[in-house]
């Protein structure tokens, strides 16, 4: 029997686990006689079609369960800790780390820095590889876990050591070679810092990473986020419109090269670069299937295309919409796009009034313009006294996970009370945005 035990938090209705009589509070002891260290082991072992699972029930009785199932069929067991192990904190002191730019007094969980390769596999988090042990690397290769998302930032070893403030950061890049040789799919990320890893260094980094195509499927380039709470930190400056145009020129040049070499665009600019440079967003085909949505790459293009599709269908139906007024609060970055979409709606449906309010980020500073980092107090302070109509629309990325709470612990209920208005949370799709604007009920596909 293995010495490491994992308490079951719940079972999915209709799953194999439920059919076997497993329930919350039972303890998973082993699979096929092997101890399970963490989620890497668990996901690998349960892929077998024939399993012997040892479980200790809440009354202390041990059950040895023989299971026959399809290869990719899940058991339906849920654990309170998704990693089935302790979370690994980051060993780096990156010059651009946003957590170091948080003010004091926020909830404790916001200050935890993770750099855990298992979260890359489970949740799509990006890892620097400095926290990846040789054993973990071997398990990723043995278990063929993919994709692994890597925060590269630069392929210059000495510069990477400086940027991450970790003397092992340069050598950690060699692990990309091991993953590539083993055929493990990867995605990359470059947080670009003005005067540090941009310019010629960006050219070098992109050039170096193209060697890993197509196993490295995509690389995003995102501008560093700078809050006003940077006392004692490395002096970084925001990018200008001219800088953004130069970054885009570099990326577009390499996209053409990669398209010829591997049939993919490979290197992608986040939406902020296009808005800052005041250049049009690329078409859908330029995003290679939207592999980097979580990094803000293609989110606006997807939103616009989904909105257009839904708008066309609604116009075709000649839908009658009841007169109403709604308001939208968003970050200053996306506000111009939302104003354009609102104008289209009001032109087609003159009985509808849509008011868009760009919210200045007083909490983190005016350099932070994305909606996902807005706080409740800024919303209340800047929306109070304004015409908000019958409904206030807020983007879902304001909320933390499945909870109706913002970064500063202000809840949606608190906002309703303070602003005296009903609130609709808009899912991350253009369809839902349109339906909320027009206040119509429709089934629509949710995009995470």
Q: For residue range 221-267, what is the model confidence (pLDDT) as tens digits?
A: 999 999 999 999 999 999 999 999 999 999 999 999 999 999 999 99
Q: Could you tell me if residue 85 is inside a domain?
A: no
pLDDT number for residue 446:
39
Helix (H) or strand (E) holding 429: none
Q: How many CB atoms lie within 10 A of CB 82?
A: 15
149 and 133 together in one domain: yes
Q: How many CB atoms lie within 10 A of CB 368?
A: 22
Find out whether the peptide bond into 15 is cis, omega within 30 degrees of 0. no
55 and 109 together in one domain: no
CA 62 from centre of chain: 40
The angle formed by the CA atoms of residues 69, 75 and 76, to the nearest 5 degrees, is: 145
Q: Could you tell me if residue 90 is inside a domain?
A: no
Q: Is the pLDDT confidence value at 120 over 80?
A: no
Crossing angle of helices 134-143 and 174-181, rounded to 10°? 20
Q: What is the pTM of this model?
A: 0.84
123 and 175 together in one domain: yes
Q: Sorting pLDDT into bands at 50, 70 and 90, what band is 121? A: low
131 and 258 together in one domain: yes
Which residue, 265, 296, 327, sits at the end of a domain?
A: 296
Q: Could you tell me if residue 88 is inside a domain?
A: no
114 and 255 together in one domain: yes
289 and 145 together in one domain: yes
Which residue, 246, 268, 296, sits at the end of a domain?
A: 296
How high is the mean pLDDT of the chain? 90
Which residue, 296, 325, 354, sits at the end of a domain?
A: 296
306 and 278 together in one domain: no
Q: Which of 325, 331, 396 is nearest to 357 (CA)?
A: 331
Q: Sorting pLDDT into bands at 50, 70 and 90, what band is 44? A: confident
Q: What is the pLDDT of residues 154-202, one digit of tens each?
A: 999 999 999 999 999 999 999 999 999 999 999 999 999 999 999 999 9
Give the range of the structural domain holding residue 140, as residue numbers without chain letter. Answer: 99-296
pLDDT number for residue 388:
97
Q: Is the pLDDT confidence value at 114 over 90?
A: no
The DSSP line for 192-235 is: E-TTTTSTHHHHHHHHHHGGGTTTEEEEEEEEPP--S--TTS--
pLDDT number for residue 318:
78
20 and 35 together in one domain: yes
What CATH number does residue 26 fall under? 2.30.42.10
Q: State how many domains the chain has.
A: 3
Q: Could you tell me if residue 425 is inside a domain?
A: yes
274 and 132 together in one domain: yes
Q: Is the pLDDT confidence value at 75 over 80?
A: yes
* Least confident residue range of 5-9, 108-112, 120-124: 120-124
Q: Is the pLDDT confidence value at 444 over 50?
A: no
Q: Is the pLDDT confidence value at 398 over 80?
A: yes
């Amino acid at each position: 029997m293995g010495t490491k035990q994992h308490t079951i938090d719940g079972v999915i209705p209709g799953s194999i686990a439920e059919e076997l009589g497993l329930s919350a509070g039972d303890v998973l002891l082993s699979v096929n006689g092997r101890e399970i260290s963490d989620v890497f082991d668990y996901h690998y072992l349960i892929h077998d079609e024939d399993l012997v699972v040892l479980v200790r029930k809440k009354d202390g009785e041990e059950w040895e369960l023989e299971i026959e199932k399809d290869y990719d069929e899940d058991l339906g067991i849920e654990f309170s800790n998704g990693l089935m192990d302790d979370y690994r904190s980051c060993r780096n002191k990156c010059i651009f780390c946003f957590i170091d730019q948080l003010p004091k007094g926020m909830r404790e969980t916001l200050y935890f820095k993770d750099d855990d390769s298992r979260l890359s596999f489970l949740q799509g988090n990006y890892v620097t590889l400095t926290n990846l042990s040789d054993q973990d690397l071997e398990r990723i290769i043995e278990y063929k876990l993919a994709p692994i998302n890597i925060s590269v930032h630069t392929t210059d070893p000495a510069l990477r050591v400086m940027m991450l403030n970790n003397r092992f950061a340069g050598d950690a890049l060699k692990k990309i070679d091991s993953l590539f040789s083993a055929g493990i799919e990867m995605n990359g990320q470059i947080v670009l810092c003005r005067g540090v890893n941009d310019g010629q260094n960006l050219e070098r980094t992109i050039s170096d990473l193209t060697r890993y195509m197509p196993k490295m499927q995509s690389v995003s380039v995102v501008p560093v986020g700078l809050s006003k709470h940077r006392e004692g930190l490395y002096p970084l400056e925001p990018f200008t419109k001219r800088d953004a145009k130069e970054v885009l020129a570099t990326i577009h040049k390499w996209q053409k090269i990669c398209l010829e070499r591997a049939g993919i665009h490979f290197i992608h600019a986040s939406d902020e670069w296009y808005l800052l440079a005041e250049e049009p967003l690329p078409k859908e085909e330029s995003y290679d299937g939207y592999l980097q949505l979580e990094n803000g790459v293609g989110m606006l293009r997807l939103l616009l295309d989904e909105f257009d599709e839904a708008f066309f269908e609604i116009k075709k139906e000649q839908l009658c919409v009841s007169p109403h007024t709604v308001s939208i609060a968003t970050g200053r970055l996306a506000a111009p796009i939302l104003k354009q979409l609102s104008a289209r709606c009001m032109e087609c449906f003159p009985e509808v009034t849509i008011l868009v309010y760009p919210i200045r980020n007083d909490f983190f500073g005016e350099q932070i313009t994305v909606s996902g980092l807005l706080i409740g107090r800024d919303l209340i302070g800047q929306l109070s006294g304004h015409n908000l109509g019958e409904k206030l629309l807020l983007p879902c990325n304001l909320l933390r996970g499945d909870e109706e709470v913002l970064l500063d612990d202000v809840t949606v209920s608190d906002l309703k009370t303070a602003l005296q208005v009903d609130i609709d949370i808009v899912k991350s799709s253009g369809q839902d945005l349109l339906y909320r604007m027009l206040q119509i009920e429709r089934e629509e596909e949710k995009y995470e």
